[in-house]
């Protein structure tokens, strides 16, 4: 919880654009912008406070539309300096919002179904969005090393962003990860350290390192840089609304790991409403989990406000956080907006991956199978209204979770002759 001293000594020298302070989500206590993540008063999570008061809606909209085809078009709404585009970064975002008419037909959606496909990011997951923010915060605080613990997407995103932006990187993973994942994380040339232990051991070690002189000058993207990092998820909300012609969708289906992404999407939508960039009308946010790691869904269904930790056992490994830090906030948002939290089992996840691929040509990670599967389930149960618009998030790429669909294969094997072709019933 202890702050490192880099920035809090000299808060006024930190230029992070419209960001003015860190504010405690629980008690509202404010501290200057710095590499801290927990409130010194109540240990609640800190998040970024902004001053957007100077913005005129029409001018801001034009400025955004004239911006680059990446998240920096929204620089006026993010904790980054105004000249962010002049600095080397991985420049993620502005991924496709796919109008999924074929999938809509299968699911009976008549109000418009869209897939926000974040597999188009540089390392093919939404993590590029949050890491790109952490890079700018690390730069502002004078850090020279980017770090994280990871078992997958985050390791690649940090490695790639550090390489481009000129940081050293040191990523910690369990020492016995699959070779493919190790290659994907190692290719960017940073330090990739295998920790003898499981993912919990890796995390415990990282927490020790942050408080130790050995970790001085290190930005752990999802720990001491977390308030900045997390804001990257707001860009999903901005892009969805802009791509819909500056309109709010009626319903959004968002995966839940720590829950941070869902809360920041809600924050982004609220900001657009307050800024007058979209009309103020109701939207519903639905959270999606895998049954094998469904602490938030379980709490939602039981009517609880607290989330009881679970031991994950699911193929959706990128969502397998058994004790999600933002779980209670997710429950709040689902209930406040009239949404829900639902889960699907591994078989339903695989079915949904195949459904999305077969209808829209999008090969999603298991997390995308979770959101598509939950969407189908919520339509069947009547909680999602198919006559209104639905946006479903795909946050990753199927190429990274090939094992989940390893049973998919050849539909026929034939000799190279036309007779064999006809006999196999392939002539149509």
Which of these, 180, 255, 76, lies nearest to 406 by C-alpha position? 180
Binding mask 106-135 for its own copies (x = CB under 8 A): -----------x--x-xxx-----------
Query: Is position 209 an interface residue for its own copies (rule: CB under 8 A)?
Result: yes
Query: Is position 338 an interface residue for its own copies (rule: CB under 8 A)?
Result: no
Least distance CB 113 / its own copies (angstroms): 13
| Of the candidate residues 13, 281, 303, 415, the single one contacting its own copies (CB under 8 A) | 415
> Between residues 161 and 225, which has the closer beta carbon with respect to its own copies?
161
> Between residues 209 and 331, which has the closer beta carbon with respect to its own copies?
209
Residues 250-279 that bind its own copies (CB under 8 A): none
H-only helix segments in 118-152: 127-140
Query: Is position 194 an interface residue for its own copies (rule: CB under 8 A)?
Result: yes
Question: 140-144 long-range contacts, Cβ below 8 Å, gap at least 24?
Answer: 140/7, 140/14, 140/15, 140/16, 140/33, 140/81, 141/6, 141/7, 141/14, 141/34, 141/35, 141/219, 141/225, 142/6, 142/7, 142/217, 143/6, 143/35, 143/167, 143/217, 143/218, 143/219, 144/168, 144/217
| Of the candidate residues 186, 273, 275, 325, the single one contacting its own copies (CB under 8 A) | 186
Query: Is position 86 an interface residue for its own copies (rule: CB under 8 A)?
Result: no
- How far from 275 is each of 36, 59, 93, 341, 417, CA to CA, in Å? 28, 11, 21, 28, 65
> Between residues 108 and 194, which has the closer beta carbon with respect to its own copies?
194
The size of the interface with its own copies (CB under 8 A), counted in residues, is 83
| Of the candidate residues 77, 161, 290, 320, the single one contacting its own copies (CB under 8 A) | 161
- C-alpha–C-alpha distance, residues 232 and 273, integer Å: 18
SS3 category, 333? helix
Query: Is position 188 an interface residue for its own copies (rule: CB under 8 A)?
Result: yes
Query: Is position 236 an interface residue for its own copies (rule: CB under 8 A)?
Result: no
- C-alpha–C-alpha distance, residues 394 and 381, integer Å: 22
- How far from 89 is each of 136, 146, 156, 173, CA to CA, in Å? 8, 13, 14, 24
| Of the candidate residues 164, 247, 304, 388, the single one contacting its own copies (CB under 8 A) | 164
> Between residues 78 and 90, which has the closer beta carbon with respect to its own copies?
90
Supply 197's token pair: 């232990």
> Between residues 181 and 267, which has the closer beta carbon with respect to its own copies?
181
Residues 353-392 that bind its own copies (CB under 8 A): 353-354, 357-363
Least distance CB 380 / its own copies (angstroms): 22
């Amino acid at each position: 919880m202890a702050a490192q001293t880099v920035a809090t000594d000299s808060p006024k020298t930190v230029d992070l654009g419209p960001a003015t302070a860190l504010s405690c989500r629980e008690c509202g206590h404010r501290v200057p912008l710095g590499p801290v993540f927990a409130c010194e008063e109540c240990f609640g999570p800190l998040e970024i406070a902004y001053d957007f008061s100077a913005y005129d809606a029409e001018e801001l909209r034009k400025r955004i539309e004239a911006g680059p085809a990446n998240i920096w078009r929204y620089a006026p709404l993010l904790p980054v300096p105004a000249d962010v585009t002049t600095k080397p970064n991985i420049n993620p975002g502005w991924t496709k919002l796919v109008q999924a008419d074929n999938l809509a037909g299968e699911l009976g959606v008549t109000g418009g179904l869209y897939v926000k496909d974040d597999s188009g990011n540089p390392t093919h997951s939404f993590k590029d969005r949050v890491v790109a923010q952490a890079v700018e915060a690390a730069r502002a605080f004078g850090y020279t090393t980017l770090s994280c613990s990871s078992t997958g997407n985050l390791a690649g995103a940090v490695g790639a962003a550090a390489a481009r932006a000129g940081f050293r990187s040191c990523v910690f993973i369990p020492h016995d990860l699959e070779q493919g994942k190790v290659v994907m994380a190692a290719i960017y040339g940073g330090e990739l350290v295998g920790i003898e232990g499981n993912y919990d051991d890796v995390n415990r070690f990282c927490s020790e390192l942050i408080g130790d002189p050995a970790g001085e000058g290190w930005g752990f993207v999802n720990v001491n840089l977390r308030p900045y990092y997390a804001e990257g998820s707001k860009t999903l909300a901005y892009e969805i609304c802009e791509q819909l012609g500056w309109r709010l969708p009626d319903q959004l289906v968002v995966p839940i790991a720590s829950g941070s992404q869902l809360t920041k999407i809600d924050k982004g939508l609220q900001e657009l409403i307050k800024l007058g960039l979209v009309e103020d009308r109701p939207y519903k946010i639905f959270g999606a989990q895998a049954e094998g790691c469904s602490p938030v869904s379980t709490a939602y269904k039981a009517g609880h406000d607290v989330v009881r930790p679970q031991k994950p056992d699911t193929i959706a490994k990128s969502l397998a956080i058994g004790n999600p830090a933002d779980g209670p906030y997710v429950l709040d948002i689902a209930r406040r907006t009239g949404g829900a939290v639902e889960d699907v089992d591994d078989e339903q996840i695989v079915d949904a991956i195949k459904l999305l691929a077969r209808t829209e040509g999008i090969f999603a990670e298991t997390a995308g199978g979770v959101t598509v599967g939950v969407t189908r389930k919520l339509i069947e149960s009547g909680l999602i209204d198919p006559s209104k618009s639905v946006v479903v998030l795909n946050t990753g790429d199927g190429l990274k979770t090939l094992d989940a669909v390893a049973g998919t294969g050849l539909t026929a094997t034939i000799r190279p002759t036309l007779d064999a072709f006809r006999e196999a019933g392939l002539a149509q």
